């Protein structure tokens, strides 16, 4: 058998890599017979005219990857037990496997087929375009250097336990303590740390709740208009959605009376996307109804920290006294969405099953990030950051509202409470929302139609405008461009 190799010292790849790749190819294509004895490193080095170290390193790698095997004292052999299918495929000349699978056809589930048809989430726009379609924080104001210091500190102080699975999938205990404290003070949520479950964003909290509470065909009452992220989760579990209209007092809870949904999903502090804050009377009515019907309320308190004309209204959970409320919160709005940390506060009776659901879904959230966040909260940075951002967002909202009124006068109506990171506005125009969106883009401003958030037909022309990450000058310019698109 010819164990030669052509090694070229003028090419970039080191000689040992060239030897390794040529021999690997020879084993895979069957040119080297399984079980054949290969020359000693000394003999091969001599016949190839290279150093023995070069050959030894190439052999070591081939042995480590299972192409050669070393029999103690009697030499080195081509591995006899290569799997059949590894011997067959012809590899490209460079010895690297071609990417696989792209040409295959898959029989997707119904859910997979539906997802495939959906438009992608992220779209890019030409430079200079002003976007009102982000309901995200202004990351330029995030204290990145401080966060980096806390990351370094957490990494330095991490004990070996933080490299293991956590003893509970509920989340890192110091973080759960901090969340419970923060929620008690700022949101009047009543809970103990062992009712707090840290999740991969509130999106995962919704998913876990649906997994443990919803069977296919069950109904879930949702706000109309409402949050697509929640609806998509419920639909993926085979639920039927029951739309409940929303007005300036929040979800119209009297519509629930004749319904028997398993769950009610609601954003009472700041309705998404219409912006209303649910009145106390409706909150009490909803809780009373839930006590009687056995339905579980999912309270999504996603951006309640940003209330600009007074104190945020306290949570529904804090009023619940015996009504089944699961409270959901997120750090995506107050800190940054890439953190992927949110939480839920569950009634005690649901905690063990939710903990198991979290374990099955993904075991736990990463410990280091949770430790960093715990110290961010413990040192008071969260509250400080919120106070700072509240001033900035309040001002941006004011600028956006003023610009809308200046440009559109009585042809615009701004809906909802003075809160949050977006607003919904209604325009007097003959154009459809789709045309408004298309023409705005041509003018260099991206706006979102409110229509996708509605389950029932709407005649009004409404847009959802996110202002939090947009500077004041861009807000004014964006509204001028929108005006040009609408005339």
Ligand X SMILES: Cc1ncc(COP(=O)(O)O)c(C=O)c1O
Cβ proximity to ligand X: between 16 and 269 the closer is 269
Q: Does 135 bind ligand X (CB under 6 A)?
A: yes
- Taking CB under 6 A as the criterion, the residue among 330, 364, 375, 474 binding ligand X is 330
Give the three-class secondary structure for 423. Answer: strand
Contact 209/298 with Cβ under 8 angstroms? yes
Choice between 54 and 267, CB closer to ligand X = 267
Is-cis flag, bond preceding 70, omega within 30?
A: no
DSSP run (H or E) holding 185: helix 173-187
Neighbours of 130 (CB within 10 A): 23
Rounded to a whole number of angstroms, the minimum distance from the CB of residue 342 to ligand X is 4
Does 416 help bind ligand X (rule: CB under 6 A)? no
- Does position 337 interact with ligand X (CB under 6 A)? The reply is yes
Give the x-and-dash track for 79-98 against ligand X (CB under 6 A).
--------------------
By CB under 6 A, residue 342 contacts ligand X = yes
Distance CA 375, CA 298 (A): 28
Q: Which tokens hold the place of 432?
A: 């459809």
**Closest to ligand X by CB, 61 or 204:** 204
Smallest distance from ligand X to CB 422, Å = 8
What is the smallest separation between the CB atom of 331 and ligand X, expressed in angstroms? 7
Nearer to ligand X, 272 or 393 (CB): 272
Please give the DSSP secondary-structure letter assigned to residue 266: E
232 binds ligand X (CB under 6 A): no
What torsion, rounded to 10 degrees, do the Cα atoms 213, 219, 222, 224 define? 170
* 201 vs 347, beta carbon nearer ligand X: 201
By rule CB under 6 A, what string of x and - marks binding of each residue 269-298 to ligand X?
---x--------------------------
- Rounded to a whole number of angstroms, the minimum distance from the CB of residue 160 to ligand X is 30
For ligand X, the closer of residues 32 and 302 by Cβ is 302
- Determine, following the binding rule CB under 6 A, whether residue 29 of this chain makes contact with ligand X: no
By the rule CB under 6 A, 305 interacts with ligand X: no
Cβ 126 to ligand X shortest distance, Å: 24
* Nearer Cβ to ligand X (265/289): 265
CB atoms under 10 Å from CB of 467, counted, come to 26
Measured CA distances, 226 to 76, 264, 266, 414, 456 (Å): 68, 12, 8, 17, 11
Edge-to-edge strands, sheet with 412-415: 412-415, 422-427, 461-466, 448-449
Give the number of residues in contact with ligand X, rule: CB under 6 A.
14
Distance CA 365, CA 199 (A): 6
Work out whether 467 is an interface residue with ligand X (CB under 6 A).
Answer: no
CB of 339 to ligand X, least distance (A): 9
> Least CB distance from residue 195 to ligand X, whole Å?
18
Minimum CB–partner distance for residue 458 and ligand X (Å): 19
**Encoding tokens for residue 316?**
């529904």
227 lies in the site for ligand X, by CB under 6 A: yes
Q: What is the three-class DSSP state of 413?
A: strand
The residue among 207 and 285 lying less far from ligand X, judged by its C-beta, is 207
Structure tokens at 194: 């062992």
- Which residues neighbour 203 within 8 Å (Cβ) at sequence distance 6 or greater? 229, 233, 342
Asked whether 285 and 253 are in contact (CB, 8 A), the reply is yes
Question: Which residue sits closest to ligand X, CB atoms considered?
Answer: 201
Work out whether 300 is an interface residue with ligand X (CB under 6 A).
Answer: yes
> What is the rounded distance in angstroms from the CA atom of residue 312 to the CA atom of residue 478?
29
- Tell me: does residue 324 bind ligand X (CB under 6 A): no
3-state helix, strand, coil in the chain (%, to 5): 45, 15, 40
CA distances from 376 to 107, 166, 396 (A): 46, 20, 26
Asked if 278 contacts 251 with a C-beta cutoff of 8 angstroms, the reply is yes
Which CB, 229 or 444, lies closer to ligand X?
229
Distance between CA 239 and CA 217 in Å, rounded? Answer: 5
Which one, 57 or 333, has the nearer CB to ligand X?
333
Binding mask 196-215 for ligand X (x = CB under 6 A): -----xxx------------
Positions that interact with ligand X (CB under 6 A): 135, 201-203, 227, 229, 267, 272, 300, 302, 330, 332, 337, 342
């Amino acid at each position: 058998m010819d164990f030669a190799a052509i090694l070229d010292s003028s090419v970039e790849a080191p000689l040992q890599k060239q030897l390794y790749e040529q021999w690997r190819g020879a084993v895979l294509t069957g040119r080297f017979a399984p079980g054949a004895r290969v020359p000693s490193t000394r003999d091969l080095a001599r016949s190839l005219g290279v150093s023995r170290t070069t050959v030894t390193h190439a052999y070591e790698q081939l042995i480590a990857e299972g192409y050669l095997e070393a029999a103690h004292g009697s030499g080195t052999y081509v591995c006899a037990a290569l799997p059949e299918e590894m011997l067959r495929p012809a590899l490209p000349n460079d010895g690297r496997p071609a990417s696989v699978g792209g040409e295959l056809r898959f029989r997707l589930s119904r859910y997979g087929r539906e997802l495939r048809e959906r438009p992608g989430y992220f779209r890019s726009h030409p430079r200079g375009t002003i976007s009102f379609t982000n309901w995200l924080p202004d990351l330029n104001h995030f204290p990145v250097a401080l966060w980096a210091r806390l990351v370094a500190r957490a990494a330095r102080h991490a004990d070996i336990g933080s490299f293991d699975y956590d003893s509970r999938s509920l989340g890192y205990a110091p973080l759960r303590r901090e969340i419970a404290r923060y929620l008690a003070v700022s949101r009047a949520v009543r809970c103990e740390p062992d009712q707090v479950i840290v999740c991969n964003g509130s999106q995962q909290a919704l998913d876990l709740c649906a997994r443990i509470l919803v069977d296919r065909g069950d109904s879930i009452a949702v706000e109309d208009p409402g949050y697509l992220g929640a609806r998509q989760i419920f639909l993926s579990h085979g639920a039927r959605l029951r739309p409940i209209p929303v007005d300036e007092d929040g979800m119209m809870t009297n519509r629930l009376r004749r319904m028997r949904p398993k769950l009610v999903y609601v954003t009472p502090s700041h309705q998404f996307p219409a912006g209303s804050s649910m009145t106390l009377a409706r909150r009490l009515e909803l809780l009373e109804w839930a006590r009687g019907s056995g339905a579980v309320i999912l309270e999504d308190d996603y951006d309640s920290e940003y209330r600009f004309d007074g104190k945020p209204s306290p949570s529904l959970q804090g009023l619940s006294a015996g009504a089944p409320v699961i409270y959901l919160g997120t750090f995506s709005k107050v800190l940054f969405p890439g953190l992927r940390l949110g939480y839920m506060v569950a009634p005690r009776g649901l905690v063990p099953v939710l903990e198991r659901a979290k374990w099955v879904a993904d075991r736990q959230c990463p410990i280091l990030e949770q430790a960093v966040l715990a110290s961010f909260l413990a040192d008071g940075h969260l509250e400080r950051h919120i106070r700072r951002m509240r001033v900035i967002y309040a001002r941006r909202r004011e600028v956006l509202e003023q610009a809308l009124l200046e440009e559109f006068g009585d042809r615009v109506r701004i809906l909802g409470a003075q809160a949050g990171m977006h607003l919904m506005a209604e325009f007097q125009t003959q154009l459809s929302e789709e045309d408004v969106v298309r023409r705005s883009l041509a003018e260099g401003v991206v706006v979102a139609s409110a229509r996708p958030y509605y389950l029932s037909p709407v005649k009004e022309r409404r847009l959802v405008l996110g202002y939090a990450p947009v500077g004041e000058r861009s807000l004014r310019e964006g509204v001028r461009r929108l005006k040009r698109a609408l005339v």
